[in-house]
Structure 1
Amino acid sequence: MNKQIIFNLPVRDLSKSKAFFAALGFGFNPAMSSDSAAFMNIVDGSIHAMLMTEDFFASLTSKPVVRALEANEVIICLSCESAQEVDSLIARARAAGARIPHPPEDHGFMYDQGFEDPDGHLWNLVWVADNA
């Protein structure tokens, strides 16, 4: 098996989160999903997220679950093929109900912008020039 990244995110409403990320073009693996978790494909074969209901997520740890709308523990950063892909994903995220915390930043060799999903998790989309 190839190495993969699979990160787990607690969500308040699994159906709403699945609909949000489906609007961004991410797919789900029903064989790896249940009523309390959904296995989301971000980059087929290598990067995935397990969206988990807060109760299920909490059952896996003895620590309190951070509510991303109130505090931040991580910013998930995804690379894009172009600045246009960044803009396209941001537009789809906005249309699906995301909060856009800042305008795009264009540094010439790098272009980025982020969004906050319905649960408050921060996602940053970045394009970096090949020669950077």
Structure 2
Amino acid sequence: MQYAPVVVSLPIADRPTSYRFYSEGLGLDAVGEPAEDGIPEPLQFALNDGLRVMLVPVGGFGWVIGRHEVARRGHSECVLSLSAATSAEAAQLVERARAAGAEVVVEPGQQPWGFAGAFADPDGHLWMVSAETA
């Protein structure tokens, strides 16, 4: 059985900050109709035809996870990875994220498996951008 789209939900502190970072900073397209604040609710971005990231305020995220605690900033349980066509494209996306307010945690460069860099979004969620080719 296949599920499409797959939605990865991440807790966030501030909808406008996250909306600006993902839409203007990373160039992703928001999915859905704008709410009263002009930001789609729920706040989702299409990464491709089969994958979306949904950004949920911490309070609402708690409704889904119950008593399980959200990892505090600086403690990550996963790394979300994006593939770029070339190392230049990967480095450019990391720099675009930095310019939008991301903390670059691994500068773009050659790794044993290929070219990669990583950044933390405004809420500390880790993203790696990699490319297999130069």
TM-score (norm 2): 0.84
Structure 1 residues without counterparts, runs of 5 or longer: none
Structure 2 residues without counterparts, runs of 5 or longer: 35-39
TM-score (norm 1): 0.85
1:14 counterpart residue number: 15
Q: CA deviation at 1:107?
A: 4.1
Q: Distance in 1 between matches of 2:3 and 2:63?
A: 28
2:129 counterpart residue number: 125
Q: Distance in 1 between matches of 2:82 and 2:9?
A: 16
1:64 counterpart residue number: 69
Which amino acid in the other structure matches residue 42 of structure 1?
L
1:5-64 CA-to-partner distances (Å, cap 9, x unmatched) read: 210000000110010011211010124942xx3011112x11210110000111111211
8 Å contact kept, 2:4–2:51? no
Q: Distance in 2 between matches of 1:25 and 1:102?
A: 21
Q: Distance in 2 between matches of 1:10 and 1:101?
A: 20
What is the CA RMSD across the aligned residues, in angstroms?
A: 2.2
1:55-111 CA-to-partner distances (Å, cap 9, x unmatched) read: 0111111211222x1311111111111111111111110100110112223148610
Following TM superposition, where does structure 1 have runs of at least 4 consecutive aligned residues deviating by more than 6 angstroms? none
